Chains A and B, each alone.
Chain A
Amino acid sequence: MTKYTTVSLPVTLHKRVERLIAEKEGFKSVSDYVTYVLREVVAMHETEKTPAPFTSKDVEVIKSRLKALGYI
């Protein structure tokens, strides 16, 4: 299972998040909400660094795979 650690937030921000999630169902805690938002942001930055999803060779491989299966 996932392990957890502690990070510090300014108290005012913590309060704002508390108010925000009180209006939403589902987020059980400020930690829950912060984890969700951070995941989005971190993934966005990680994606910027990952190589392009398809090379031109990849496209040819997928096309011939789909062709062999009758989709093209």
Chain B
Amino acid sequence: MTYEIEMIGIRKEFPGVVANDNIDFAVRKGEIHALVGENGAGKSTLMNVLFGLYQPDAGTIKIRGEEVKFNNNLDSIAKGIGMVHQSFKLVPSFTVAENITLGHEPSKLGFVDKDAVRENVIKISKRFGLKVDPDSRIRDMPVGIQQRVEILKALYLLSDILILDEPTGVLTPQETDELFEVVRSLVATGITVIFITHKFREVMAISDRVTVLRDGKWIGTKDTKDTNPKELARMMVGREVLLRIDKTEANPKEQVLTVENLKVLDNRLQEAVRDVSLSVKAGEILGIAGVEGNGQRELVEGIIGLRTAVAGDIRINGKSITKMSVRQRRDYGISCVPEDRYVRGVALRASLEDNLIIENYDKAPISKGQVLNLKKIAQHASRLISEFDIRTPSSKVIASTLSGGNLQKVVLAREIDARPKLLIVAQPTRGLDVGSIEFVHRRILEARDRGAAVLLVSAELEEVMSLSDRIAVLYEGNIVGTVKGGEATEEELGLMMAGITDEGEDQRDSHSVEQQVSQEV
């Protein structure tokens, strides 16, 4: 039979990595085909090849049986391929209609025909039953609607093959369900959908067939009804997956971090953290779960002092640090593994030595008075390099030459070596391979067992569940519930992440949460 899309023997190399290695991938007309794999497995690269953004080093692509060669995405658009990227590609100040027609504006005598722009958009939104207001501006819209605009953008270009790149990452469970409805109705009109994800629940819920990639290689393609999450997990990781790490019972001691009624603004001066109270004890891990963008970043930056608190109080061992600078807080015993590793975590153009002393460059023995001790700096670096198994030719090389996993080790080494009272880790394993993930998890547990209070923020629910002793769920800048680590189920947490709690929807009263916290401890 003829496939709608056939990719045969695709190979794509980047300096130092083979992102796609001889991959075969075929999609039938009118199906929902899930493409799964861990971060870095080559899903996005393969789809960017299909979308014409990358040119493959080897291999052929056939669309409806016809061999094609895409030099850029205009070529693939012409063949009816549309892609909705993970991070939306929309112009914030443009209207919905302007965004949908961008690059393909109907024009009269060289001028844009504004009426035609609107009418076309209204027409297409009616045809596919995707309601949008053509005149409202993107910057004023919620994420779910923005995604709808992205899908319309692809449909406007007469796409009948739609690539959705991790479309649910930014959505709440409800929005995800809505998206599924939309996808099903699109398929009913004859459109073919490729659905990229790494969540098994979604694969099982929506796809007809599923293809698994690992380390840039094709592992297998299955009918969804013939497979199960466990099998998929094994294919994805290459071995039986331990969903839980072995860890000893926590042995919580005195309360280290206390946050009371914290309010923090984001870059647009919106309240990202509305009214958060929480506490972490020495020797325990408090996990913060939640859909990304619910105030996690601002919460972390508020505690380490990169953002000032508009209201509320932060205390370490009972002493308020709310007014302290970042340096004072660090000296007071806070360390942090930040979520943007490449931006905040390291200086890519600086040497490893320089990267490793930002925490203690102003303390003996690294410096004395104003003068740095270069010898001690080199010793410090080589000690951490061996202790944390950082793979590097030398401590003098600049950080950008290291792989992502090794860079994360650099950050961990520096922050854990400071022997903090409070260790904050934000998205600690994002984009890392399995080996590195285990390493990072082990180090975090070690820090806990040594007596540090650990605040773990992660968008990976599994990570939060397997590491945390207690789990607090952040929703729209509030903590909507706190549960014990071992007792929480995925369903329970999922509901809370959507803002639904036992006491009614959208719980805002965080004082009761505070009570909950104190009761549990």
Whether A and B are associated in the same complex: the answer reads: no
Which residues of B approach A to under 8 Å, CB–CB? none
